[in-house]
Amino acid sequence: MEERRAADASGDICVIVPTIREYECLREYVANAREHGFDVSRLHFVLVTEDFCDVEEMRAMLDDLDVSGEVFDGSRREEWYEANDIAEYGHVVPAASHAETSFGLLYMWVDDSFEYGIFIDDDTLPHDDEDYFGRHMENLAFEGAIESVSSDEHWVNVLYRNADEHGLYPRGYPYSAMDETVETDAVEIESGEVVASQGLWTNVPDLDAVRILMDGDLEGQAQTRTTADDFGSDFVAARGNYLTVCSMNLAFRREVIPAFYQLPMDDNEWGVGRFDDIWSGVFLKRACDVLGKRIYNGGPLCEHNKAARSTFDDLHNEVAGLELNEHLWGLIDDAGAEADDYAAVYDAMADRLADGEFDEYRNGAFFTHVGEHMRDWLDCLDALRRTPAPADD
């Protein structure tokens, strides 16, 4: 079966889905688009999977849905690197890791027809009453007044609306920034200022393993669940304030790709995992503050149906990076202040980590490892720009 990305394809939105099991969720997303009158021809799906998965079934699903799309297991990714003359940079995308969403960013980078990207996790579903893709596109095009949220800890809890009732802080929110005093204001957003749209989630909240244990759940989920009532109007985090950015339901403009590398996790000697999207969000927010851009938060909501698994397995994957997560944002908080594009801000943050000394932190050498990979990411993007994409067969 031939995968479909015709030379004259009209799609300007690349939908990137990391998946090893629940890829059938895409049927609901495509159905949502058609139900709400969204132009499905704008969508091109890239499923990032592994060699042990049923790639042919995934391709058959895309064909059955009559949508443009491709499936990349580990072997096909290696072929793609070779075809695009970037095999030397294959290490920037870790195997068998959620961070392999970075492959989708590389895929977008070589094709100028993609103006937007969307990350969708395979354990989510759209809400029937909302135009999922349309809402993300509206958010990216937003201009006008919106609520701006800040705190005295310089961190914004994206679940702050009902925090007094549920007490939840999302995965990646620093423990040292808890018990913050929240302030809200209204700001005017100009056209083109919003570069990322983070949709939030109902049902299973996105928590780290420590918080899941504190919530009394041993199956990797949470006893406390969220509903649409836990979310009010949409908002942005104020300048100089960070926030957790989860990639399970996220749209973005292609311009952010140089500063949106999903960090190398899981496959490293320090055993650090589960912070790929969180740290990429920290770096993106710093770049946005320097360049006068915004990350939009709120709708469209998705239903997060995280599969049951051992909370202690997640804890094992997270604990090596918990201390580092407390300090990362402070290390890059003033980096790249004079930069005038995403790559320049990102390069300054990469230097801060790659050239730093972090002996005071357990696993501090991982910061250096990340900084070096950030440099390789920028070099890889430059190499792709210098190499013409291979012609379709």
Q: How far apart are the C-alpha atoms of 223 and 219, rounded to whole Å?
A: 10
With bands split at pLDDT 50, 70 and 90, how would you rate the model's confidence at 96?
confident
Give the pLDDT of residue 9: 54
User: For residue 5, which phi and psi values (nearest 5 degrees)?
Assistant: -145, 80
Secondary structure element (H or E) that encloses residue 96, with its range? none
Of 153, 114, 121, nearest to 262 by C-alpha is 121
The reported pLDDT for the residue numbered 392 is 46
Where residue 286 falls among pLDDT bands split at 50, 70, 90?
A: very high
pLDDT of residue 36: 98
Whether 391 has a pLDDT exceeding 80, the answer reads no
pLDDT classification of 387: cutoffs 50, 70, 90:
low
Percent over 70 (pLDDT), the chain? 96
Residue 82 clears pLDDT 70, i.e. is over it = yes
Of 189-193, 352-356, 385-389, which range is least confident? 385-389
Q: With a cut of 50, say whether residue 6 has pLDDT above it.
A: no
What predicted TM-score, i.e. pTM, was given to this entire model? Answer: 0.95
- Over range 242-270, report the average pLDDT: 96
Q: Which residue has the higher pLDDT, 234 or 268?
A: 234
140 Cβ contact partners less than 8 Å away, ≥ 6 residues apart: 116, 194, 195, 196, 197, 251, 252, 253, 296
CB 274 within 8 A of CB 125: no
Residue 95's pLDDT band, with cuts at 50, 70 and 90, is: confident
pLDDT (mean) for 92-108? 94
As a whole number, mean pLDDT of residues 157-179 equals: 96
Fill in the DSSP letter of residue 4: B
Per-residue pLDDT, 388: 58
